Structure 1
């Protein structure tokens, strides 16, 4: 697990976690507006992005380049739940595009400054 390299690191307190929650919420807004510079600014320089079936993306610049290759126009993230504990944020929601919805869950780890240091995404699908 990529985020393991931060195990033992000082965990953010509740005030920093509250800032991290706002950064998580902003990350979806920035993606929906295709503001990739704003999106990338929310991530720690050494952040890790993990999505099912794709290679791990490392570093703020790679994360921005990865998102630039994806299509974000014409869709919206709808957040159903945002759950936070010190240093972690979990989001359950859906992506709505062209009348279709795909459920997702994201787990974020925060830096001691409230930046996003990792994001792991899961999509809801019926098991085969």
Structure 2
């Protein structure tokens, strides 16, 4: 057993798959500006980050998901925001029922400037 789950049960595959569906729906709801629909995917008492909510405000941006990886109570979504084409990685934590309990968004660091060679 993974030490991450030491002392608690690993969620079933059904719960994880349900969480993946909820993540996909979350982006759909955010992109269409449906915050009520988005809120219906949240675990009771949970408010996901303002960064994620702002990223879908009133259809101003679209999430283009390129990959989703899930295991246990964790779903990772990779993609880019349009029209800016800014890449992101969202790491979701699921409740025991597969609802969205938390999310942390990461952006790649900008590429360092090229190093000029000294002769």
Aligned to 2:104: 120
Where relative contact order (Cα < 8 A, 6+ residues apart) is larger, the structure is: 1
Aligned pair in 2 of structure 1 residues 13, 33: CA closer, same or farther (>3 Å)? same
Aligned partners of 1:12 and 1:112 also within 8 Å: yes
Unpaired segments ≥5 residues, structure 1: 1-6, 55-65
2:89 aligned residue: 105
The structure in which a higher percent of residues are strand is 1
TM-score, structure 1 normalization: 0.71
Unaligned runs of 5+ in 2: 1-5, 113-119
Pair member with larger Rg: 2
Partner of 1:44: 43
- For the residue of structure 2 that corresponds to 1:112, the secondary structure is coil
| RMSD of Structure 2 on Structure 1 (CA) | 2.7
For the residue of structure 2 that corresponds to 1:46, the secondary structure is coil
Task: Tell me the TM-score normalized by structure 2.
Answer: 0.76
Q: Which runs of 4+ in 1 moved over 6 A?
A: none
